[in-house]
Amino acid sequence: MSKVFVIGGGASGMMAAIAAADNYNEVHLIEKNEKLGKKIFITGKGRCNVTNASDMNTHLNNVVSNPKFLYSAFNAFTSEDLMELIETTGIKLKIERGQRVFPVSDHSSDIIKAFTILLKERGVNIHLNTKVVDVKKAEKTERGNIEVKLGDGRVVYCDSCIVATGGCSYPVTGSDGDGYVFARENGHDIVETHPALVPLNIKEEYCKELQGLSLKNVKLSIFADEKMIFSDMGEMLFTHFGISGPLVLTASSLVTDIVKNKKITAVIDLKPALSKEQLDKRLLRDFSENINKNFKNSIDGMLPKKMIPIIIRLSGIEEDRKVNEITKTERERLVELLKNMNLTVTSTRGFNEAIITKGGVDIRDISPKNMESKLVPGLFFVGEVLDLDSFTGGYNLQIAWSTGYAAGNSIW
Ligand X SMILES: Cc1cc2nc3c(=O)[nH]c(=O)nc-3n(C[C@H](O)[C@H](O)[C@H](O)COP(=O)(O)OP(=O)(O)OC[C@H]3O[C@@H](n4cnc5c(N)ncnc54)[C@H](O)[C@@H]3O)c2cc1C
Q: Which is nearer to ligand X, 14 or 307 (CB)?
A: 14
Q: Exactly one of 3, 4, 5, 10 binds ligand X (CB under 6 A); which one?
A: 10
According to the binding rule CB under 6 A, does residue 331 interact with ligand X? no
CA distances from 321 to 24, 278, 302, 326, 336 (A): 80, 23, 18, 7, 19
Site pattern 37..76 for ligand X (x: CB under 6 A): -xx--xxx---xx---------------------------
Site pattern 163..202 for ligand X (x: CB under 6 A): -xxx--xx--xxx--x------------------------
Q: Exactly one of 397, 406, 407, 411 binds ligand X (CB under 6 A); which one?
A: 397
Cα angle value 401/144/36 (rounded, 5°): 35
Site for ligand X in 107-166 (CB under 6 A): 131-132, 164-166
Q: What is the dihedral of CA 400, 405, 408, 412, to 10 degrees?
A: -170
Q: Are 189 and 365 in contact (CB under 8 A)?
A: yes
DSSP label at 5? Answer: E
Beta carbons within 8 Å of 146's beta carbon, 6+ residues apart: 5, 135, 136, 137, 138, 157, 158, 159, 160, 161, 376, 378, 379
Count of alpha carbons within 13 Å of 302, Cβ hemisphere only? Answer: 27
Instruction: Give the binding range for ligand X (CB under 6 A) out of 5-13, 66-74, 109-117, 260-268.
Output: 5-13
Q: In angstroms, how far is the first alpha carbon of the chain from the final one? A: 6
Closest contact distance (angstroms) between CB of 167 and ligand X is: 7
Closest contact distance (angstroms) between CB of 215 and ligand X is: 22
Q: Would strands 356-361 and 190-196 be described as parallel, antiparallel, or unpaired?
A: antiparallel
Q: Are 268 and 226 in contact (CB under 8 A)?
A: no
Closest contact distance (angstroms) between CB of 391 and ligand X is: 10
Closest contact distance (angstroms) between CB of 240 and ligand X is: 19
According to the binding rule CB under 6 A, does residue 370 interact with ligand X? no
Q: Which is nearer to ligand X, 207 or 385 (CB)?
A: 385
Closest contact distance (angstroms) between CB of 42 and ligand X is: 5
Q: Which is nearer to ligand X, 41 or 206 (CB)?
A: 41
Closest contact distance (angstroms) between CB of 53 and ligand X is: 13
CA distances from 292 to 67, 284, 319, 327 (A): 59, 13, 13, 15
Closest CA to 203 of 348, 310, 346: 346
Site pattern 87..106 for ligand X (x: CB under 6 A): --------------------
Site for ligand X in 338-357 (CB under 6 A): 355-356
Beta carbons within 8 Å of 52's beta carbon, 6+ residues apart: 58, 59, 62, 79, 98, 99, 100, 101, 393, 394, 395, 398
Q: Which is nearer to ligand X, 167 or 378 (CB)?
A: 167
Which positions lie near ligand X, rule CB under 6 A? 7-13, 30-33, 38-39, 42-44, 48-49, 131-132, 164-166, 169-170, 173-175, 178, 355-356, 383-384, 394-397, 400
